Amino acid sequence: MAEGRSRVVGDAALSTLGMLMSGGAQFVLSVVVGRVFGPGTLGAVRGALSLANTASLLWPSAAGQSASLFVARELAADRAEVAGQVERHLTLRVALAVLVLAPTMALASVFVLGLGWGDAAWVAALVVALGAYQIARGIRFGRARVRMATVAEAANAVLGVALLAVVAWLHLPGWLLGPLVVGNAAYAVGVLWQALRGAAGMDPSLRRELDLFVLWGVAGTVASTGLLQLSMVIAKAISAGHDAGLYAAAISLATPLSMVARALSMALFPEMARQLGRQDEAATRAIVDRATRGLIAVMTPGFLMLLVVAEPLVTLVYGAGFHGAVEPLRILLVAVLITTIPVAAVNSINVRGRAGVRLSALLSWVGLLLGLGLMAVLHGPFGITGVAWGYLSGVSATALVAFGLVWRRDQQRWAWPTLALLLAVGVAVAWAELGIATSSWSGSLLGVVVFAVVWSPVARQLLRPRHGPGPRVSTGNAAMTEEDG
């Protein structure tokens, strides 16, 4: 137990560092484009980036997650040859997927976003590069090469930012996606070369299990993560270029902290698979409990302090011309916080095989349909703020139901952490919406200090080691378990 806990903590820390570096390159891209080229170009670039990210959700992302699970499982069972077969199979599936997705998204960038054909070519290239990155990262985590993955992420980020500086200095707006293409491709090429050298044969039942797992993973990922990308595409398609740029700025400031949760997810998923492979339900539930309490303790102040300082932060990063991004930013910060807290709970659903990933997908689709419906209704009267409200509503429905299901299934003791979270969100939103000295840095930082002082004892209690009884382990199996069909 102690060894597994140490591995999870170490892997989570390295994964977080790598994810922050990689995501930081996209953040720097947004800031540079907004500052140098203005809101119109920023809206176009973020729209193109959202199309490419959406494409990665349509197979590569789920394939990468599957690699982290199945490769770890096979290696733990001393089946290295089968692990190689899994890597080869998933890599070839991703290659087939991007052959379809790249031209599709290129055409969408022209006919939906109104971009030129040169920009469309960069969108297609980015679809291929992001697909390669996703599967390569999953393979590295499945093989427990987290340190190597982190070094590669750092190199990817440094290369991307250096190339971006050259593009901005030469003032070449048509080449702005190029640095991301080169960086992501460089990250993946060595890993995928090795993966394609794996044994070609595979047991048909394992192939079917892999493909169905990825298929359900795609359904869930598209509906959950895809809603954010679709909201950007919708904002670009139905708003003026300036408003789309404001929404892009809000997204770029709201999402970086969520990379911590995504990195934790990459570390938790293989470890949960190992514990369930040993039929150690108590260890799995304890991992979920510790991770959830840690996320509430750390992520709540992170997001809510950003909410309080949103107005001066937008002006500092993007300039006074982006003031219209403040209200969407505050809504998106609450939304991303709500999706971040249940990360461990959602992982504990997905790791239980096809039944779990299917349930997660269905919940995500409910949230997607709700979110898109509200975006359609609210965009007219509220503009990009209505799009943000639609996103908040959709992801809240999915996240809260998943959180509640795992809370009940595992009989976790999450009552007071949940109450603390809700009270903190309520106070921060009220502080910001009532305009209590939030327009300047001095007033906003006062709010941050007050929040930090009040939250500190709560965080200490959440992070304190629990020596008493943990989650109650039920002998009856109300959990989502592995099934054949």
| pLDDT band with cut points at 50, 70 and 90 for residue 11 | low
Is position 483 within any domain? no
Is there a single domain that holds both residue 198 and residue 211? no
> How far is the C-alpha of 235 from the C-alpha of 252, rounded, in Å?
14
List pLDDT tens digits, range 155-166. 888 898 899 999
Is there a single domain that holds both residue 64 and residue 208? no
Is position 478 within any domain? no
Region at 477 (left for phi over 0; alpha for psi -120 to 50; beta for the rest):
beta
| Contact indicator for 47, 229 with CB cutoff of 8 Å | no
Is there a single domain that holds both residue 198 and residue 208? no
Q: How does the average pLDDT of the chain come out, rounded?
A: 85
**Of 238, 259, 253, 195, which is closest to residue 18 (Cα–Cα)?**
259
Q: Is the pLDDT of residue 118 over 50?
A: yes
Of the two residues 255 and 59, the one the predictor is more confident about is: 59
Is there a single domain that holds both residue 137 and residue 266? no
Residue 145 is predicted with a pLDDT of: 86
Residue 133 structure tokens: 């990155």
Is position 479 within any domain? no
Secondary structure string (H, E, C) spanning 240-251: CHHHHHHHHHHH
Residues 277-296 as b or e (16 or more Cβ within 10 Å = b): eeeebebbbbbbbbbbbbbb
**Of 464, 462, 471, which is closest to residue 424 (Cα–Cα)?**
462
> How far is the C-alpha of 369 from the C-alpha of 393, rounded, in Å?
10
CA gyration radius, the chain: 22
**Of 83, 88, 54, 58, which is closest to residue 69 (Cα–Cα)?**
83
Is position 480 within any domain? no
pTM of the predicted protein model: 0.74
Residue 122 is predicted with a pLDDT of: 96
| Contact indicator for 113, 44 with CB cutoff of 8 Å | yes
Is there a single domain that holds both residue 192 and residue 208? no
**Of 296, 286, 271, 283, which is closest to residue 463 (Cα–Cα)?**
296
Is position 301 within any domain? yes
Is there a single domain that holds both residue 188 and residue 242? no
Q: Is the pLDDT of residue 117 over 60?
A: yes
Is position 112 within any domain? yes
Residue 328 is predicted with a pLDDT of: 94
Q: What percent of the chain stands above pLDDT 70?
A: 89
Is there a single domain that holds both residue 136 and residue 269? no
Q: How many domains is the chain built from?
A: 2
For 7, other C-beta atoms within 10 Å of its C-beta total 16
Q: Is the pLDDT of residue 182 over 80?
A: yes
Q: Counting beta carbons within 10 angstroms of the beta carbon of residue 142, is it exposed (0 to 12), middle (13 to 18) or buried (19 or more)?
A: buried
Residue 177 structure tokens: 């996606």
Q: Which domain-ending residue is among 202, 222, 240?
A: 202
Question: Dihedral angle at the C-alpha atoms of 477, 478, 480, 482, nearest 10 degrees?
Answer: 30
Residue 421 is predicted with a pLDDT of: 93
Is there a single domain that holds both residue 214 and residue 308? yes
Is there a single domain that holds both residue 77 and residue 89? yes
Is there a single domain that holds both residue 31 and residue 166? yes
Is there a single domain that holds both residue 157 and residue 285? no
The mean pLDDT of 326-351, rounded to a whole number, is 91
Q: Is 199 helix (H, G, I), strand (E, B) or coil?
A: coil
Residue 480 is predicted with a pLDDT of: 40
Is position 414 within any domain? yes
| pLDDT band with cut points at 50, 70 and 90 for residue 483 | very low
Domain that holds residue 93: 1-202
Identify the weakest region by mean pLDDT among 24-28, 184-188, 294-298, 376-380: 24-28
Place of tokens 């953040």: 27
| pLDDT band with cut points at 50, 70 and 90 for residue 484 | very low
Q: Which domain-ending residue is among 173, 202, 231?
A: 202
List pLDDT tens digits, range 415-473. 999 999 999 999 888 877 776 656 677 777 877 888 889 899 999 999 887 654 455 54
Is position 79 within any domain? yes
Q: What percent of the chain stands above pLDDT 90?
A: 41
Is there a single domain that holds both residue 101 and residue 5? yes
Q: Which domain-ending residue is among 162, 187, 202?
A: 202
